[in-house]
Amino acid sequence: MHNAGMGVRPRDRLMQVADELFYARGLHAVGIDEIIAKSGAAKATLYAHFPTKDDLIAAYLQ
């Protein structure tokens, strides 16, 4: 089965939202809860991919 219609993977969506928010407002002005709310991901999903905000920031900066 082909995944083209399945949409964006949760990790990719989290990174897209983090990129938008971090770029617009800065790394320290954006909270995890805001990223979760805007991405539509579950908190457990975010923490499964990025155990800390620093891990999310490191992925963003790569």
pLDDT digits (tens, 9 = 90+) for 12-62: 999 999 999 999 999 999 999 999 999 999 999 999 999 999 999 999 999
**What CATH code is carried by the domain that includes residue 23?**
1.10.10.60
In angstroms, the CA 24 to CA 45 distance is: 24
Question: Is the pLDDT at 3 greater than 60, yes or no?
Answer: no
| Domain assignment of residue 3, yes or no | no
The parent domain of residue 54 ranges over 8-61
pTM: 0.84
pLDDT digits (tens, 9 = 90+) for 19-31: 999 999 999 999 9
| Domain assignment of residue 1, yes or no | no
Place of tokens 């923490």: 47
The secondary structure of residue 11, as a DSSP letter, is H
